Amino acid sequence: MTFQQIQKYERGANRIGASRMYALSRVLDVPVSFFFEEMPPEISGKGGKPVPGLAEKYQEEFSHDPLAKRETLELVRAYYRIKDPNVRKRLFDLAKSLANASTT
């Protein structure tokens, strides 16, 4: 790690994720709160006005992508374990017809 990289972390230009901070606390044998001990009160939420730009903006509710579900991944893996291309094609056609039947 270079001196310039360390400066970026000190100034806040680079950020450290929670899992990395946890790992660092384990390596240094300190609690995670150690990294926040000298934080100014206006940033830590312990009084004062918040610093502009640090407050999180409202985010819309996260929409779950069906392609990211474990069930989808397992289904795709099982589908591709079917060796016979004719059986795989028939299963594909069956799934499509079931989907179409449930929407009508």
According to the model, what pLDDT value does residue 60 have?
Answer: 56
Instruction: Quote the tokens at residue 55.
Output: 């407050």
Rounded Cα gap, residues 81 and 84, in angstroms: 9
The proportion of the chain whose per-residue pLDDT surpasses 90, expressed as a percent, equals 20
Most confident residue range from 22-36, 46-60, 88-102: 88-102
DSSP string, 29-79: T--GGGGGTT--HHHHTSSSPPPTTTSPPP-PPPPPPGGGSHHHHHHHHHH
Distance linking the first and last C-alpha atoms of the chain: 60
According to the model, what pLDDT value does residue 52 have?
Answer: 58
- Torsions phi, psi for 79 (to 5 deg): -60, -45
Report pLDDT digits (tens) over 62-71. Answer: 556 777 677 8
18-39 average pLDDT score: 82
Residues sharing a CB contact under 8 Å with residue 44, sequence separation 6 or more, in sequence order: 36
